[in-house]
């Protein structure tokens, strides 16, 4: 009787693990008959060098019995099998045991990730209760590339250590094994140096009394942070346990304004033109001629090499403003003395000097693709090709080991659809495009592929700061599920089909991401208006909501409804912690383009003339100086204009920069008398006029931000 009861009880509490699609998909996966039950008596054992991996597994799987050796029944065994590729793994689930072997620690770690994905999703919430059954199977697997990375920009927007660790965990779950840590840039210095403590203490914060000016959002406060060396070592170790190598980046010789604001002596010796910038020195390039600079770089590299275990240090080399070297008498003298033909060759000289410093500390440089345009750098230099696939091919053809990371596929700071936040310079794309990435179809032959060290996704964080970076939501939204698709393409070269991937995403991975607490992005709902009925649908089972903008009322959508003003209804979908962007029908999204003339108290450059701001396109006008209180921008319509909403914005289209920091908007019905209609917030405002308008004027109530121009955009009229 007791046995019967026990069996009944066991059956009742047994959670059945569905054999689910693993992301990234293993190269060989076979279902076998039967299942293995992991219960309170299951014993975990491991080879000595796998201790950290075993402890990691125990965070997720609450086992209580351990053995040093053993391969008995009801066991899980982790072992090294040197006949497998280094990061390869063989996972076998039999009815009486699980054996998991890998070619190295990393291989076993990858196998652990496959095993976790075969368990119910709550394993990721660390709330799995035993017993749990898992279907018998065999997965034999190895990655295509040794380098499967994410680059994270913590310079533009500060991300504290505990949140970096969270992303390390999320990368690990997707078998991504490199974190390229973008630690310095024009807007911040995030790494503590014992030899120069002021770099981080001052350069880690911008705004307020900091010499580092706020460039994007949070203009009114001193904001930021930095990692202590202890925190960085902890991150490196945390990542190592999760099979992730952390590669630090100190971006030089350009992108160094934050450091230049603290140490003016690193910059070139010419008098900066601060008249156009409300006093700000916008030099951001290390002077290549000063010997003292190489001594300072030696200090930096010496310390950075002791913190990070990676053989590589990324030293930047992107977007160097060569005009600063052109204006610098010392750099010009250097050019003559060393027989350099161009400013580009000054960059080669600079990077060669830094490479020699790295060598002194046993490190090898990684650089952005511009740095190898000249092709003179040592061939061990690892190149990150970011501008386009062509730039990656060029680096490969010059013989450099190359990390392929074209912005148009892998820059997850790009918008995912037209009406969302993000950059657009490379492309607008979602996970589907990431999954379609195929080196073979982009001109990479076998010979080229031999030089491809791997793939990297990236997130640059200029726009992040506008989205409450104190929470992870925006970063999660930009990374997932694009990063899941990236994990696939970096893992194997199999031919893929979006529908299959999407279905395993929706049926299995949504719940895993949910359990991991990720605020991932859902597909945009499809909204239609026809025959007086407004309807919406999604293909991922998420719940749809709609809001009537006239009263702010939010309602759960269940069925098409009759409606005579579809232009007021905004839709979005939700699935636990995940959400879609806000969208609507054609009518809701429709923009008006009434004929308008734009004028300003400031003159605009010939390259970006004021007429651009009247085109209702992404063309911008750019003034030739910063703004002061009283400066204005006026939009006059050819005819009185009726609309429901006008979005007024100064500054870059996708980035709050080059804007009126304080100001207001005035509107006029007759073009003569103006009334104050709104205050600017982050350089913009929304007005909902109840009468036809003839003109709109934006007036600055103070200086613009510390840039040498103001960007004027077209109005957005709905």
Task: Say if residue 238 is exposed, middle or buried (CB neighbours under 10 Å; 0-12, 13-18, 19+).
Answer: middle
Which of these, 466, 486, 502, lies nearest to 654 by C-alpha position? 466
Q: Which is nearer to ligand TNX, 88 or 422 (CB)?
A: 422
Q: Which is nearer to ligand TNX, 386 or 480 (CB)?
A: 386
The Cβ of residue 429 has, within 10 Å, a number of other Cβ atoms equal to 21
Instruction: Name the closest residue to ligand TNX (Cβ).
Output: 460
Q: Which is nearer to ligand TNX, 137 or 405 (CB)?
A: 405
User: Among residue numbers 308 through 327, which ones bind ligand TNX (CB under 6 A)?
Assistant: 318-319
- Nearest distance from C-beta of residue 44 to ligand TNX, angstroms: 43
- Nearest distance from C-beta of residue 369 to ligand TNX, angstroms: 8
- Nearest distance from C-beta of residue 474 to ligand TNX, angstroms: 15
- Nearest distance from C-beta of residue 412 to ligand TNX, angstroms: 9
User: Among residue numbers 164 through 193, which ones bind ligand TNX (CB under 6 A)?
Assistant: none
Please give the sequence-ordered ranges of beta strands (E in DSSP) within 299-414, or none if there are none: 312-316, 364-368, 382-385, 402-404
| Total site size for ligand TNX, rule CB under 6 A | 9
Q: Which is nearer to ligand TNX, 350 or 588 (CB)?
A: 350
Binding mask 292-311 for ligand TNX (x = CB under 6 A): --------------------
- Nearest distance from C-beta of residue 422 to ligand TNX, angstroms: 9
How many residues are there in the chain? 718
> Which contacts (CB < 8 Å, 24+ apart) does range 486-489 have?
486/176, 486/410, 486/434, 486/455, 486/457, 487/23, 487/24, 487/148, 487/174, 487/175, 487/176, 488/23, 488/24, 488/25, 488/435, 489/434, 489/435, 489/437, 489/438, 489/455
d(CA 356, CA 365): 9
Binding mask 92-131 for ligand TNX (x = CB under 6 A): ----------------------------------------
- Nearest distance from C-beta of residue 655 to ligand TNX, angstroms: 9
User: Among residue numbers 416 through 455, which ones bind ligand TNX (CB under 6 A)?
Assistant: 423
- Nearest distance from C-beta of residue 386 to ligand TNX, angstroms: 5
- Nearest distance from C-beta of residue 233 to ligand TNX, angstroms: 26
Q: Which is nearer to ligand TNX, 465 or 572 (CB)?
A: 465
Helix (H) or strand (E) holding 664: strand 663-668
Q: Which is nearer to ligand TNX, 437 or 588 (CB)?
A: 437
Among 411, 412, 474, 529, binds ligand TNX (CB under 6 A): 411
- Nearest distance from C-beta of residue 444 to ligand TNX, angstroms: 21
Helix (H) or strand (E) holding 299: helix 291-307
- Nearest distance from C-beta of residue 584 to ligand TNX, angstroms: 28
Q: Which is nearer to ligand TNX, 284 or 650 (CB)?
A: 284
Which of these, 165, 176, 109, lies nearest to 454 by C-alpha position? 176
Q: Is 412 in the site for ligand TNX (CB under 6 A)?
A: no
- Nearest distance from C-beta of residue 186 to ligand TNX, angstroms: 8
Q: Which is nearer to ligand TNX, 144 or 652 (CB)?
A: 652
**Residue 613 Cα to chain centre, angstroms:** 30
Please give the sequence-ordered ranges of beta strands (E in DSSP) within 551-650, or none if there are none: 553-556, 561-562, 569-575, 578-579, 596-600, 621-622, 632-641, 646-649
**Residue 397 Cα to chain centre, angstroms:** 28
Q: What does DSSP say about strands 75-80 and 97-102: parallel, antiparallel, or unpaired?
A: parallel
Q: Which is nearer to ligand TNX, 319 or 321 (CB)?
A: 319
Q: Which is nearer to ligand TNX, 479 or 598 (CB)?
A: 479
**Whether 313 contacts 277, CB under 8 Å:** no
- Nearest distance from C-beta of residue 213 to ligand TNX, angstroms: 17
Q: Which is nearer to ligand TNX, 158 or 368 (CB)?
A: 368
- Nearest distance from C-beta of residue 348 to ligand TNX, angstroms: 17
User: Among residue numbers 233 through 292, which ones bind ligand TNX (CB under 6 A)?
Assistant: none
Q: Which is nearer to ligand TNX, 319 or 549 (CB)?
A: 319
Backbone angles phi, psi at 628, to 5 degrees: -125, 165
Q: Assign 97 to helix, strand or coil.
A: strand
Q: Which is nearer to ligand TNX, 370 or 705 (CB)?
A: 370
Torsion, Cα of 223, 229, 231, 234 (10° steps): 160
3-state secondary structure 561-574: EECCCHHHEEEEEE
d(CA 686, CA 502): 37
Q: Which is nearer to ligand TNX, 486 or 545 (CB)?
A: 486
- Nearest distance from C-beta of residue 533 to ligand TNX, angstroms: 41
Give 207-265 as a DSSP string: STT-SSPP-SS-TTS-EE--B-HHHHHHHHHHHHHTT-EEEEEEEESSS-HHHHHH-GG
d(CA 537, CA 549): 20
d(CA 184, CA 158): 11
Q: Tell me the Ramachandran region of residue 200: left when phi exceeds 0, alpha when psi lies from -120 to 50, beta otherwise.
A: alpha
Residues 6+ apart with CB under 8 A from 330: 268, 269, 287, 289, 290
Q: Which is nearer to ligand TNX, 314 or 512 (CB)?
A: 314
Torsion, Cα of 154, 371, 324, 301 (10° steps): 50
Task: Say if residue 86 is exposed, middle or buried (CB neighbours under 10 Å; 0-12, 13-18, 19+).
Answer: middle
Q: Which is nearer to ligand TNX, 187 or 476 (CB)?
A: 187
Among 109, 219, 325, 460, binds ligand TNX (CB under 6 A): 460
Among 35, 249, 298, 413, binds ligand TNX (CB under 6 A): 413
Q: What does DSSP say about strands 97-102 and 132-141: parallel, antiparallel, or unpaired?
A: unpaired
Backbone angles phi, psi at 546, to 5 degrees: -135, 150
**Whether 452 contacts 440, CB under 8 Å:** no
Q: Which is nearer to ligand TNX, 245 or 413 (CB)?
A: 413
Any bridge partners for residue 184, and if so which? 189
- Nearest distance from C-beta of residue 249 to ligand TNX, angstroms: 9
Please give the sequence-ordered ranges of beta strands (E in DSSP) within 39-104, or none if there are none: 43-46, 65-67, 75-80, 89-93, 97-102
- Nearest distance from C-beta of residue 281 to ligand TNX, angstroms: 20
Among 187, 462, 705, 707, binds ligand TNX (CB under 6 A): 462
- Nearest distance from C-beta of residue 418 to ligand TNX, angstroms: 17
d(CA 655, CA 647): 15
Binding mask 352-391 for ligand TNX (x = CB under 6 A): ----------------x-----------------x-----
Q: Which is nearer to ligand TNX, 335 or 423 (CB)?
A: 423
- Nearest distance from C-beta of residue 76 to ligand TNX, angstroms: 42
Ordered alpha helix ranges (H), 382-430: 389-397, 407-410
Which residues are at the interface with ligand TNX (CB under 6 A)? 318-319, 368, 386, 411, 413, 423, 460, 462
């Amino acid at each position: 009787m007791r046995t019967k009861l026990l069996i009944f009880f066991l059956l009742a509490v047994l959670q059945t693990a569905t054999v689910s699609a693993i992301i990234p998909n293993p190269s060989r996966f076979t279902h076998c008959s039967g299942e293995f039950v992991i219960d309170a008596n299951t014993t975990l054992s491991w080879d000595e060098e796998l201790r950290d991996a075993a402890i990691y597994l125990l965070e997720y799987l609450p086992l209580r019995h351990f053995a040093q050796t053993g391969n008995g029944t009801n066991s899980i065994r982790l072992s090294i099998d040197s006949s497998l590729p280094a990061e390869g793994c063989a996972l076998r689930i039999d009815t009486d045991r699980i054996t998991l072997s890998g070619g190295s620690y990393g291989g076993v770690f990858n196998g652990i990730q496959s095993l976790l994905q075969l368990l119910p999703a709550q394993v990721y919430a660390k709330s799995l209760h035993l017993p749990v059954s898992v279907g018998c199977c065999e997965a034999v697997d190895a990655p295509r590339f040794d380098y499967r990375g994410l680059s994270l920009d913590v310079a533009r927007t500060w991300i504290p250590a505990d949140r970096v660790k969270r992303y390390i965990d999320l990368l690990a779950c997707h078998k991504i094994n490199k974190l390229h840590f973008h630690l310095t840039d024009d807007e911040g210095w995030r790494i503590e140096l014992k030899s120069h403590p002021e770099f981080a203490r001052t350069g880690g914060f911008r705004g307020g009394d900091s010499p580092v000016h706020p460039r994007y959002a949070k203009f009114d406060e001193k904001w930021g942070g930095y990692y202590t060396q202890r925190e960085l070592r902890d991150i490196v170790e945390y990542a190592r346990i999760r099979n992730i190598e952390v590669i630090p980046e100190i971006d030089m010789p350009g992108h160094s304004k934050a450091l230049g604001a603290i140490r003016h002596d690193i910059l070139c010796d010419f008098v900066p033109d601060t008249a156009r910038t409300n006093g700000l020195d916008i030099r951001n390039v290390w002077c290549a001629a000063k010997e003292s600079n190489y001594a300072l770089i030696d200090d930096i590299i010496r310390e950075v090499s002791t913190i990070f275990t990676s053989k590589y240090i990324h030293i930047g080399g992107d977007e160097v403003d060569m005009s600063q070297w052109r204006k610098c008498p010392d750099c010009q003298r250097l050019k003559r003395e060393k027989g350099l033909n161009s400013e580009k060759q000054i960059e080669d000289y600079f990077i060669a000097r830094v490479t020699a410093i790295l060598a002194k500390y046993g490190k090898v440089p990684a650089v952005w693709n511009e740095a190898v345009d000249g092709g003179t750098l040592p061939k061990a230099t690892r190149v990150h090709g970011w501008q386009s696939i062509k730039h990656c091919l060029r680096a490969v053809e010059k013989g450099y080991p190359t990390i392929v990371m074209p912005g148009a596929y892998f820059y997850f700071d790009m918008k995912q659809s037209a009406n969302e936040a993000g950059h657009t310079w490379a492309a607008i794309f979602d996970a589907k495009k990431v999954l379609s990435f195929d080196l073979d179809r982009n001109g990479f032959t076998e010979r080229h592929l031999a030089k491809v060290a791997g793939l990297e996704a990236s997130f640059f964080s200029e726009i992040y700061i506008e989205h409450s970076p104190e929470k992870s939501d925006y970063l999660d939204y930009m990374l997932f599920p694009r990063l899941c698709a990236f994990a696939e393409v970096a893992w194997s070269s199999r031919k893929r089909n979006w529908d299959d991937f999407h279905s395993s995403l929706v049926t299995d991975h949504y719940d895993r991401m949910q359990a991991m607490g990720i605020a991932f992005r859902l597909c945009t709902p499809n909204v239609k208006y026809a025959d007086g009925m407004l309807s919406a649908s999604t293909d991922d089972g998420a719940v749809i909501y709609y809001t009537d903008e006239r009263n702010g009322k939010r309602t759960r959508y269940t069925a098409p409804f009759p409606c005579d003003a579809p232009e007021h209804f905004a839709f979005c979908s939700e699935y636990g912690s995940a959400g879609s962007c806000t969208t609507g029908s054609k009518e809701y999204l429709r923009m008006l383009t009434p004929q308008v003339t734009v004028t300003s108290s400031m003159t605009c450059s010939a390259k970006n003339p004021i007429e651009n701001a009247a085109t209702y396109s992404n063309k911008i006008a750019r003034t030739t100086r910063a703004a002061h209180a009283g400066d204005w921008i006026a939009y006059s319509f050819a005819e009185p204009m009726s609309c429901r909403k006008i979005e007024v914005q100064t500054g870059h289209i996708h980035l709050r920069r080059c804007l009126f920091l304080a100001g207001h908007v005035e509107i006029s019905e007759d073009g003569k008398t103006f009334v104050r209609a709104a205050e600017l917030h982050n350089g913009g405002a929304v007005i909902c006029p109840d009468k036809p308008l003839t003109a709109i004027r934006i007036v600055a109530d103070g200086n613009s931000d510390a840039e040498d121009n103001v960007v004027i955009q077209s109005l957005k009229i709905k």
